[in-house]
Amino acid sequence: LRSCSPGRARRTNASRRACLVARFGDIYAQERLDAETLLRTYISDMEMVQRIIYIAAVESFHAAKTAYRQFKIRVRDTLSLGHSGPESLEDTVLDYIVRHEDLYDVQASVNEVIHSMNINPKISFPPEIDFIVISTLIRELCRVAFSMQTLVPPLDVAFGTDGELFSETKYHRSFDSDFTAALVAYHVWPALMENDVVIVKGEAVTKR
């Protein structure tokens, strides 16, 4: 990404988008399962383990989006002082962020996610253990979520609620679901969205 010349952020949008969508799939297939295995050593309840991972994913996107907005404001304020073109200020800001994504303080976002999880009433953890044990998953999700904000349009995860009507277009059912049930009992992984259109299905458990 550092090799992008000014004005290239938009021209490389399609290739960066493809890489980030693939990376989101890799996290689901690898880091998510690693986190699941780790959590199972502390928590016997599989539903609680899956809820923890789902909330970690949603909170990671929230924290990364907030960090991106703040980062973009600082970059715009700095670059606007000497901006003369030929690209628009917005394009120049975007190029700068894409070239300097390593300036994103991902650890601050990880800390924010863990704090949010600690006060979330839907999940609990043995008091002697901390959500920091899944910080590798959280860090990778924050990184990919931050990068997804540099796309035009940006990508985001779908908001899901327990008890919502199951959507075939938004989710796959988990193998242990009741396939005749119409409502989502809880979510395993969020769907990835672009302008309110699902581009990668999430996973949910349906039960009566």
Q: What is the pLDDT of residues 143-178, one digit of tens each?
A: 999 999 999 999 999 989 999 999 999 999 999 999
- pLDDT at residue 104 above 70? yes
165 with 111, same domain?
A: no
86 with 111, same domain?
A: yes
144 with 180, same domain?
A: no
Q: Which sign does the torsion angle of CA 27, 33, 39, 44 carry? A: positive
112 with 91, same domain?
A: yes
Where b means 16+ CB within 10 Å and e means fewer, 17-34 reads: beebbebbeebbeebbee
Does residue 1 fall inside a structural domain?
Answer: no
Mean pLDDT of the chain: 90
The CA distance from 65 to 156, in Å, is 9
102 with 192, same domain?
A: no
69: containing domain: 8-154
pLDDT at 2: 40
Picking from 157, 161, 160, the residue whose alpha carbon sits closest to that of residue 61 is: 157
The CA distance from 166 to 69, in Å, is 32
120 with 133, same domain?
A: yes
183 with 99, same domain?
A: no
168 with 134, same domain?
A: no
Pick the more confident residue, 138 or 74. 138
Starting from the edge strand earliest in sequence, which strands make up the sheet with 184-189, in order? 171-173, 202-206, 184-189
Pick the more confident residue, 200 or 159. 200
Q: What is the total count of domains within the chain?
A: 2
103 with 197, same domain?
A: no
pLDDT at 80: 72
- pLDDT at residue 198 above 80? yes
Does residue 91 fall inside a structural domain?
Answer: yes
The CA distance from 138 to 151, in Å, is 21
Write down the pTM of the prediction: 0.91
pLDDT at 3: 41
Q: What is the pLDDT of residues 117-129, one digit of tens each?
A: 999 998 988 777 7
Does residue 185 fall inside a structural domain?
Answer: yes
Query: Do residues 150 and 91 lie in contact, with contact meaning Cβ atoms separated by under 8 Å?
Result: no
Does residue 3 fall inside a structural domain?
Answer: no
Does residue 80 fall inside a structural domain?
Answer: yes
94 with 166, same domain?
A: no
